[in-house]
Structure 1
Amino acid sequence: MSTLLTASELVAAYSTGEISPVEATEAALRSIEERDRECNAFCLVDPEVAREGAKASETRWREGNPIGSLDGVPASIKDMFLTQGWPTLRGSACIDRDQPWEEDSPVTARLRENGLVLLGKTTTPELAWKGVTDNPLTGVTRNPWDPAKTPGGSSGGSAAAVAAGMGELSVGTDGGGSVRIPASFCGIVGLKPTYGRIPMWPASPFGALSHAGPMARSVSDVALLLDVLALPDHRDPTALEPPVGAYREAVRRDVRGLYAAFSPTLGWAHVDPEVRRIVTSAVAALDEAGLRVEETDPGFSDPREAFDVLWSTGAAQWLDTFPAGSEDKIDPGLRRLWEQGRTYSASDYLAANAERASLGIRMGEFHTRFDVLITPTVAVQPFDAGFDVPPGSGMSGWPEWTPFTYPFNMTQQPAISVPAGFTDGGLPVGLQIVGPRHSDDLVLAVARLVEELLPWPTDRPAGR
């Protein structure tokens, strides 16, 4: 069977008996065996656990008692989420593998409760600190469309796995773009929902910047997975109340006639000309289809300085708990971030947090005039793997090439990346849709319209 079916297609086939969860899981495991030597998307694969889960799901379907809308769908989880029975090393050589792993994070617990088949855990840069995916434990993760290129990060392992057909679904984290960046580079769909929509525990050291997010090969699948992940968990006191309706229904909403702002640069970002051309063409198709698009900027300047304070102090707080001598074992870039975070005072942190709040207020006002904001997801094309920034660019850090993602972690708004087209070199480019806080249903519906207008090939990259 094809490993590029969507989760929705798989579930439909389960209901008729055309395909069983065992067959789907075996296909996913074969795909991992065939493709992951090249992609390096997984840091842990557990065929025995996956097969046990698939057999239990097969029995439930045969008896007509599936326990959820995604029962039996093969999925993976980023190695930032605690997972009972599996180590959560977060890409770091400084975390002891030999300790009890007895707790599931809320994300992991919801996947199990809804019958998804867990294949394993996906790679992350150390502590998910940057926009590409490599770490001291597992090395470099690569883009399935072109293994010479990066899949982005920090949820690059999840994105590469989904894009290559190594499981239909995955869950990543996003503190500055870490779901949306690799979704764009790998040609899949990745959602950063409103902060608190998906419960997180333990709390991220990056605080309110950090979200969990579903990743899939279709917008409808992302909506289905969000329905599973958005259920409450008492361990997260910042979690939102349960959603009123189902996202799998809301995604079908007709958004023609709504108002969209298109900002190709946010007023200050430098964008690769080919990326801008592809996204502009996709936006023109949306406008022609009935979304009322106006090219305008949201009116804020680059919040990079405040983001750096929030990001680096979070990293420093986390790393200060690591064992003595860790400085010599961690990613050199992460060590520099640690040192940077130690230079800021409580006053600096509070000032950055005040700027974050001010940016949120500004965007709230902007959305009284525009239902959604559309931008490129990433300012550059996928670049060579093994580098933190595009080689020869002169850039010093990953936020320089991700100007469209981290501002909306600061504002806590929902933002989704959906495929918009390919470069002349055959690499994916994503379009980002941002909505006001609590409008996860709206950004999903607009993304689905993009998907309808710009159908994505179903035979790549696994067929390359």
Structure 2
Amino acid sequence: MQHSQTVPGDLCKATAKELTAAYAAGEVSPVEVAKAALERAEKAKAELNAFTVIDHDAALSSARKSEERWRSGAPLSAVDGVPTTIKDIVLLHGYDVRFGSAVTEDVSNEPDAPSTQRLNAAGVVVLGLTNTPEFGWKAVTDSPKFGITRNPWDPSMTPGGSSGGASAAAAFGAGVLHLGTDGGGSIRIPASFTGIVGHKPSFGLVPAYPASAFGTVAHIGPMARTVEDVVAMLNAMSGKDTRDWNQYPGDRVAIELRPFDWKGKRIAYWSEPCVGGNDPEVAAAIRRTTEEFELAGAIVTEITLPMQDELEEIFYRHWHVGAANRLAAIDEKDHDKLDRGFLEVAARGQRYSAVDRIQAEISRSQFGYLMDELLVEHDLIISPTTPITAFEAGVNVPLGAGYSHWVEWSSYSFPINLSQQPACSVPCGRSTAGLPIGLQIIAGRTDDAKVLSAARAYEQMFPEHFLTPDGNWPMMAERLA
């Protein structure tokens, strides 16, 4: 059924911009949209295990309040009334956030995290919580508490992680805006595996509290199907918060998408990952894109990252010690209920000395300085988001590919957590098996507007790659329309 001239017949495919325009025109109501989104969310939970909690009563209550605001011409923001999901790792008052674990306590009485507080203040309609691996420790999504999440492009495959519930929901049409976290690629990897847009902001742009057990590699950011929706969500939840001492000083200004002309832009093409190589289809897709940028007038130079051979060990010393830190807060009698892989990583972290950890921080500082310098010489860095496409659900590495740890196939993403620079994954076509491929766009610290403006320009060049209302959606989502 066609609801209006503004939104598609399938409300679950609408963008935030389309929905709010329809709300303003009185063509569709937030309540009607929330009901459609909740129905789709239930299907995503049943078929993909994308959600851990869906709260119909709370969502419809929020939608009714939004409807009144739009009727009176007083919406709270550009995302008022837009269906939204929250990763089961970010505090949300009234919700039993479990961090994907069977050993955590009920935190439903805890106050909102800064990001969820700001989203609520913006009037979004929260559908529920999306699945994550335990404590977000790995780049696929399965946990002892909630089980395996699957990819809507092929349910036998993983949607990536750790924000895999969010990415699966987005590509399935179960919500418009999706809150993710990213400590080593956990927004960008699932965005790549499911063909959506995922932005890891500059560190501190989105405030965090409590501080992550994994330290200052951990970021919070938006996921959606279009760049404009990512920007709208980012603006709703970014800004200063006194609880986040790690934020950079100074005020935050709203991100505005600016015209971006590829002509004359100096693009550094990071072509080889820190570990291993690229799937040939991934390499070919990114190479075709660089050629299109060159045809548009960009100056593309192939690079390796500074200190590239050292980055895996630097990251391990941060990540493994973070896991050991998280484990220290869990009673030893409950350790047998934890993900075995998480326990192994934490055990490695316990073996590092304090000197090892400080040396890693010093090396990280040098790498960060060199990355800042690299992005003075170049306007952007581009790379594959991942060197592979989605693989079998329920395992941490693709079978038979030669990887021993998920970090090895995530080596296009974790370096940018170390450098704290903004990075956006956008869809870049699909493999012959029909699985999405992602392109990563990186700029200097605090230059999120440049990254997102470039991502939007790319989206306008290649609209066929994106999940727009008229686009090529996963068959699982298409049959629900």
Q: Same fold (TM over 0.5)?
A: yes
Of residues 115, 139, 153, the one that matches 1:145 is 153
- Does the C-alpha gap of structure 1 residues 252 and 229 become closer, same or farther in structure 2, counting only changes over 3 Å? farther
**What's the counterpart of residue 124 of structure 2?**
116
Distance across 2 between alignment mates of 1:100 and 1:63: 32
Residue 263 (structure 1) aligned with residue 270 (structure 2)? yes
TM-score where L is the length of structure 1: 0.97
Give 1:295 shift: 2.2
**What's the counterpart of residue 281 of structure 2?**
274
**What's the counterpart of residue 297 of structure 1?**
304
Give 1:284 shift: 1.7
- Does the C-alpha gap of structure 1 residues 346 and 224 become closer, same or farther in structure 2, counting only changes over 3 Å? same
**What's the counterpart of residue 84 of structure 2?**
75
Give 1:23 shift: 1.3
**What's the counterpart of residue 240 of structure 2?**
232
Distance across 2 between alignment mates of 1:380 and 1:216: 21
Give 1:8 shift: 1.2
Distance across 2 between alignment mates of 1:61 and 1:430: 36
* Secondary structure in 1 matching 2:101: coil
**What's the counterpart of residue 375 of structure 1?**
383
Residue 31 (structure 1) aligned with residue 46 (structure 2)? no
Of residues 466, 473, 477, the one that matches 1:460 is 473
Residue 132 (structure 1) aligned with residue 145 (structure 2)? no
Give 1:459 shift: 4.4
The one-letter amino acid of 1:259's match is R
Deviation readout 1:14-55 (Å, 9 max, x if unpaired): 111112111111110111123331111100000100000000
* Secondary structure in 2 matching 1:76: strand
Give 1:213 shift: 0.9
Give 1:291 shift: 2.9
Of residues 173, 178, 181, the one that matches 1:173 is 181
- Does the C-alpha gap of structure 1 residues 18 and 168 become closer, same or farther in structure 2, counting only changes over 3 Å? same
Residue 436 (structure 1) aligned with residue 444 (structure 2)? yes
Give 1:4 shift: 1.2
Unmatched runs of 5 consecutive residues or more in structure 1: none
* Bigger Cα displacement from structure 2, 252-261 vs 297-306: 252-261
Deviation readout 1:76-131 (Å, 9 max, x if unpaired): 0101111101111101111123x552310001101100000000010000000000
* Bigger Cα displacement from structure 2, 229-238 vs 130-139: 229-238
Of residues 286, 295, 320, the one that matches 2:293 is 286
Give 1:298 shift: 3.1
The one-letter amino acid of 2:303's match is T
**What's the counterpart of residue 18 of structure 2?**
9
- Does the C-alpha gap of structure 1 residues 362 and 266 become closer, same or farther in structure 2, counting only changes over 3 Å? farther
Give 1:242 shift: 6.3
- Does the C-alpha gap of structure 1 residues 240 and 256 become closer, same or farther in structure 2, counting only changes over 3 Å? farther
- Does the C-alpha gap of structure 1 residues 33 and 268 become closer, same or farther in structure 2, counting only changes over 3 Å? closer
* Secondary structure in 2 matching 1:368: helix
* Secondary structure in 2 matching 1:433: strand
Distance across 2 between alignment mates of 1:433 and 1:246: 20
Residue 306 (structure 1) aligned with residue 314 (structure 2)? yes
* Secondary structure in 2 matching 1:150: coil
Percent identity between matched residues is 44
Q: What is the aligned length?
A: 462
* Secondary structure in 1 matching 2:89: coil
Distance across 2 between alignment mates of 1:374 and 1:239: 26
TM-score where L is the length of structure 2: 0.93
* Secondary structure in 2 matching 1:293: strand
Of residues 341, 350, 370, the one that matches 1:362 is 370
Residue 386 (structure 1) aligned with residue 390 (structure 2)? no
Q: Is the 8 A contact 1:192 1:211 kept in 2?
A: yes
Give 1:266 shift: 4.8
* Bigger Cα displacement from structure 2, 60-69 vs 318-327: 318-327
The one-letter amino acid of 2:74's match is N
Of residues 316, 323, 333, the one that matches 1:315 is 323
Q: Is the 8 A contact 1:271 1:380 kept in 2?
A: yes
**What's the counterpart of residue 167 of structure 2?**
159
* Secondary structure in 1 matching 2:301: strand
**What's the counterpart of residue 6 of structure 2?**
none
Of residues 197, 200, 219, the one that matches 2:205 is 197
**What's the counterpart of residue 422 of structure 2?**
414
The one-letter amino acid of 2:100's match is G
Distance across 2 between alignment mates of 1:264 and 1:353: 26
Distance across 2 between alignment mates of 1:268 and 1:50: 44
**What's the counterpart of residue 208 of structure 1?**
216
* Secondary structure in 2 matching 1:401: helix
Deviation readout 1:125-171 (Å, 9 max, x if unpaired): 00000000000111000001111110000000011111110000101
Q: Is the 8 A contact 1:256 1:289 kept in 2?
A: yes
The one-letter amino acid of 2:280's match is P
Give the ranges of 4+ consecutive aligned residues of structure 1 lying more than 6 Å apart after TM superposition. none
Distance across 2 between alignment mates of 1:331 and 1:418: 31
Distance across 2 between alignment mates of 1:252 and 1:246: 16
* Bigger Cα displacement from structure 2, 257-266 vs 335-344: 257-266
Deviation readout 1:286-309 (Å, 9 max, x if unpaired): 222233322233343231111111
